[in-house]
Structure 1
């Protein structure tokens, strides 16, 4: 199999997950370089992970090194310029969530990828667990019947000290609150299971945290096939949980965890007359834990080996990012938002706070 040369840009906490996954991939990929504006931190990271090259500037590294894959692990505001440098240099990109601060910025990357032929994948690792794959397979085979109802909850707790990091809690540097930066993993998994959404009706509020973004949001969602769902995102919840529930004609399937899951976190409750579904689910159990990036990065390399776009593709990412924009647009304009409504030039395409949050009295 091909051996890829990779670099990590940004050596903060999330970079460790990328480095660990790359090491676990063995001879398929070499972590050849790290980049960080903090030279001391980058040097320490490189020593820990046996990385031969440390650089302070990505553009210079791309000029002097051949890189197949660049992992962008910086705060969100830096993602677009860094990704553009990579794509234009012929390197594929793996970017942490959220990939951009707006739909308009994402479309810039879509166009750059089309022009250069280089790919960009967004880290949405929760799609890649065995339970999620099994659920999608059962749906595709029609074994669960029609999806009817779903609930999606990201109820987390972040105290005031968390927001002392300068870029957090601001539209211009984080892009949003828990809708953008916390709940995104759970409702991305929801969307990967249920498919295209059609309409969103939402509320958002700033209840308690010292931020200019929201600290809680709630949405009612209608999907293309008629399924209805609720989505709640919070950083105010002392009893933390990440939870998904899917009610089908023949069974309820649930996932409850916090930051990562195994098959033990999934349950299936068959409807009367469909008890065999529980047996089939149990027989296909898998012990893989989705707390790291290895399953998705394995899929990325598999796709590159095959000459295919790596998952999660820009088209898939756009569905999730448009959903986020729709939550904000509905909450701040106080009306339902339909898929496709937020087009080029729309205020919520260029910024997730669009026409302004109700609490932003200075606007």
Structure 2
């Protein structure tokens, strides 16, 4: 099965174009774009012509009826992820879905229940996990060489002006489902837990300070992780340049990410060992390193391996739940001025929705 080419139907051609360019074209021996779907006919035709894709549809339900489609790749605005994921799983398709996976922990638990009995597998997108830098750091931590974790700081300092919000669904609770927490910082916060393990306590604040929008564009939190390590999470959409910066301090080594905003894992990270002995062990561990392509290229390649060879899914709905628990905890903590314990269960006040009541449809 490892050589099988899987047919993909891609819905939503905004970020969806990046999935094609960064994910499927470099993995042309693994995937074929069988169909594309978008409500914007001009964009549909433009991308169809650009990549030679003949099947161009404006009806999502029509994709579900295509027997030759193995995977539905959902790249639509956040408010329609939940119904499209559910429909695709029930149609027996494998599913890839952009972040945020859904709009509440309640919805996510429903998706996870359907996933357990579905024919297809579901993979959330967290493409920032991939690249030489993050892979090397994860290998060092996993080997035990790093030792006891102390602290981590994570900064998502990006810039979004009013023009960004001219796209009708952005900046609104009903359609974007959140702001910088949901659409931007969720990547860097996922990296924190990917490398350091789950957050168990969070005290956070959110604010809207940069643009005239409904949702937040500045956040900051103090956290404790399951290991006992401490974390600081800060994000803004009002920075004058754009960086993503992650710094981790362990007993035997410190790490700092490459600062590139949208691919912090692409280049090797700064690795600062405590002494020459630790440095020699790290060099030995990383000897003969094989390049790991960044972002979508590696994530979708590993998804193919999971579907055809039985490998583990590179990103799971458990990972998506952990990310959305952080979002939920931020909103609740800021509103109540209390620390929130994670994981978050069904009895939590924001389990059904973190969207303020005044904006719920």
TM-score, length basis structure 1: 0.91
User: Is 1:332–1:355's contact at 8 Å kept on the other side of the alignment?
Assistant: no
Q: 1:202 aligns with which of 201, 204, 215?
A: 204
Aligned to 2:44, which of 42, 45, 48?
A: 42
Distance 2:208 2:266 in 1: 35
- Displacement of 1:272: 3.5
Moved more, 147-156 or 106-115: 106-115
Distance 1:127 1:152, change over 3 A: same
Size of the alignment, in residue pairs? Answer: 354
Partner of 2:182: 180
CA distance in 1, matches of 2:99, 2:232: 22
- Following the alignment from structure 1 to structure 2, what is the Cα–Cα distance between the partners of residues 262 and 127? 6
Q: Report the CA distance between 1:136 and its aligned residue.
A: 1.7
Q: What is the CA RMSD across the aligned residues, in angstroms?
A: 2.0
Helix, strand or coil at the partner of 2:145: coil
Matched residue SS, 1:33: strand
- Structure 2 unaligned regions, length at least 5: none
Q: Deviations over 1:212-245 (max 9, x none)?
A: 1111000111011101010011101113210000
Kindly indicate whether the alpha-carbon contact (under 8 Å) linking 2:244 and 2:264 is maintained by their aligned counterparts in 1: no
**Counterpart residue number, 2:305:** 302
Contact 1:122 1:311 in 2 (8 A): no
DSSP-derived class of the 1:349 partner: coil
Q: C-alpha distance in 1, partners of 2:316/2:235?
A: 24
Measure the CA separation in 2 of the matches of 1:212 and 1:30. 39
Unaligned residue ranges in structure 1 (runs of 5+): none
Alignment match of 1:267 (pick from 265, 270, 285)? 270
Q: CA offsets per residue over residues 65-120 of structure 1, 9 Å max, x none?
A: 33111111111111111111110111011111111122122122112212323221
1:104 touches 1:344 (CA, 8 Å); kept in 2? yes
Asked if 1 retains the 8 angstrom alpha-carbon contact of 2:130 and 2:266, the reply is no
Partner-residue secondary structure (3-state), 1:30: strand
Q: 3-state SS of the aligned residue for 1:269?
A: strand
* Rounded Cα–Cα distance in structure 2 between residues aligned with 1:120 and 1:39: 28
Q: Give the distance between the partners of 1:355 and 1:201, measured in 2 at CA.
A: 22
Equivalent in the alignment of 2:131: 129
Structure 2 residue 7 is the aligned partner of structure 1 residue 2: no
Map of 1:199-278 to 2, 5 A cutoff? Answer: 199-255=201-257, 256-261=259-264, 264-273=267-276, 274-276=278-280
Task: Give the superposition deviation at 1:204.
Answer: 0.8
Please tell me whether the aligned partners of residues 6 and 67 of structure 1 are also in contact (alpha carbons under 8 angstroms): yes
8 Å Cα contact 1:247-1:253 kept in structure 2 = yes
Q: Distance between the aligned counterparts of 2:192 and 2:288, measured in 1?
A: 21
- Conserved? CA contact 1:263–1:285, under 8 Å: no
Q: Which moved more, 1:241-250 or 1:115-124?
A: 115-124
Shift of residue 347 of structure 1? 3.4
Aligned to 1:138: 140
- Assess if the C-alpha contact under 8 Å between 2:128 and 2:262 holds in 1: no
* Contact 1:163–1:210, Cα closer than 8 Å, also in 2: no
Higher relative contact order (CA 8 A, sep 6+): 2
Secondary structure at the aligned position of 1:237 is classed as strand
Task: Write out per-residue CA displacement over residues 294-346 of structure 1, whole angstroms, 9 at most, x where no aligned residue.
Answer: 11000000000123563211112111111111111111111000013x32263
Of 298, 314, 338, which aligns to 1:311? Answer: 314
